[in-house]
Chain A
Amino acid sequence: MLNIYRGREGMISWALHRLTGLGVLLFLLIHIADIYVINYGPEAFDELLFIYHNPFFRAMEVLLVAALYYHGLNGLRIIAIDFWDRAVLYQRQLFWAVVIAFFVTFIPTAILMLRPVLWAN
């Protein structure tokens, strides 16, 4: 879609919002499945938790945080647009504010999350 219509900030923000929303939904489904394992007792559940110590899953968790941060921050932008008339006029600047806020919050979080894995290796 992005390669057939050259949309600007509004369209990019919307496409990212969709993408991150679907990503978070996918995690939620996996999460419901892994929480369900608790029905088979604490041992079974603890055993399953090894996947969260796997470096690949840790990397995926970092992506999950990225998706949550973006979706949340852009969600605030959309709320502003919906409820505050003037925000519509500054939607482009608000998008760049979202991008800046995203990196300011995401980079320290990613470092904190990846440090144990990178140290272990």
Chain B
Amino acid sequence: MQVNLKILRYNPEIDSKAHFETYTVEAEPTDRVLDALNEVKWTRDGTLTYRRSCAHGVCGSDAMRINGRNALACKLLIQDVGDSMTIEPLMGFRVIKDLVIDMDQFWENYKKIKPFLINDDQAPAGRERLQSQEEREVFDDTTKCIMCAACTTACPITWTNDKWVGPAAIVAAHRFIYDSRDQGQDERLNILNDRSGVWRCRTVFNCTDACPRDIKVTRAIEQVKRTMLYDNM
């Protein structure tokens, strides 16, 4: 089938502002959007720039706005989008070139919540720190995050507020806050208990809708809010 891709292009060395360019390529309905993009890059215009790495929905490199909604180009099938699509970079961060955005702030926010195990106790000799299936279940959903930024850049707060920690960082925090092996709960809750922390969330649910891993992002944020609220009561 013939697929029309209308892609928002921006080359900082030539363009003063972004503009759309349309390409028509041959693709199978069961191809992914990424295949169509590759077809454009490999046979039409080698200057088209986008991030991709594993191409199988695991590395989280190729999140972009496809027909107005964030998705991974490598997970979205052409038959689910149709034969005509508009592809734009993620919103809220500076565009470096074409579909590549500057993720520095995103990673800063991620680092801020201390995304690593905090436990000063000596690990049991010769074995892991054990936890029950029930203890693991509590934060199972948020372990699935691949840091693709689809959630954070779908959030209207991100578009207008550069201090907002963003859903992805809260998901990462959630993964450790509710981990029975972790001792950094208070530390992380303190970081997120802020105007630009979880309380900035307006439950828009764009993050949950955008997540390619089907993480219930808003639910995780609301759980963190309630933990703060009830633990202080």
Contacts and interface: CB of A to CB of B under 8 A. Distances in A.
B158 to A, nearest CB: 11
Interface residues of B, number: 22
Contacts of A4: 68, 91
B206 interface: yes
Contact of B68 (A5, A9, A10, A85): A5
A83 B233 CA distance: 14
A6 interface: yes
B68 A89 contact: no
A9 to B, nearest CB: 7
A119 B57 CA distance: 63
Given A6-B67, A85-B223, A11 B216 contact: no
Interface size class of A (residues with CB under 8 A): 10 to 19
Nearest to B156: A1
Contact of A82 (B68, B156, B159, B225): B225
Interface string B49-88: 0000000000000000101110000000000000000000
Interface string B205-233: 11011000000101100110110000000
B202 A14 contact: yes
B117 interface: no
Identify the interface centre among B91, B156, B159: most chain A CB within 10 Å of its CB.
B156
A11 B156 contact: yes
Does more than half of chain B's interface fall in helix, strand or loop, or is it mixed? Answer: helix
Given A83-B226, A88-B218, A7 B203 contact: no
- Indicate the member of A4, A10, A81, A91 with the most B CB atoms within 10 Å: A10
Interface string A60-91: 00000000000000000010011101001101
A88 B222 contact: yes
Residue among B154, B203, B216 with the highest chain A CB neighbour number at 10 A:
B203
Interface of B: 65, 67-69, 91, 154, 156, 159, 202-206, 208-209, 216, 218-219, 222-223, 225-226
